[in-house]
Amino acid sequence: MELEARGVPTVTLATQYFEALARLTAKGKRQPNLPLTILPHPLNPLPDEQIREAVRKQASRMVEALTKVKQPIKA
């Protein structure tokens, strides 16, 4: 979140179970529009290929978030 606040594009990954916590934390850090990518939960028991596929499905959204021009957040 610190990099995002400084204007460096980032994407935060969270599983569905932690989505609400991720959004609440971002809001608390005054970054309610923090780019989040939500993945299935739980990931641990999934085979590597299923995890890769879940990430691939979100790839275009992640690239968009990383290439969008942003202004630093003023403290």
User: What's the pLDDT at 65?
Assistant: 86
Residue 42, in any domain of the structure:
yes
Residue 58, in any domain of the structure:
yes
CA distances from 37 to 4, 71, 74, 75 (A): 15, 20, 24, 25
- In this structure, what is the dihedral angle of CA atoms 26, 29, 32, 34, given to the nearest 10 degrees? -60
Residue 75, in any domain of the structure:
no
What confidence tens digit (pLDDT) does each residue in 11-40 have? 999 999 999 999 999 999 999 989 999 999
Domain count, the chain: 1
Residue 19, in any domain of the structure:
yes
Burial class (CB in 10 A: 0-12, 13-18, 19+), 74: exposed
What's the pTM value of the predicted model, to 2 decimals? 0.78
The amino acid occupying position 13 is L
Residue 73, in any domain of the structure:
no
Residue 45, in any domain of the structure:
yes
Range of the domain at 30: 2-67
Residue 40, in any domain of the structure:
yes
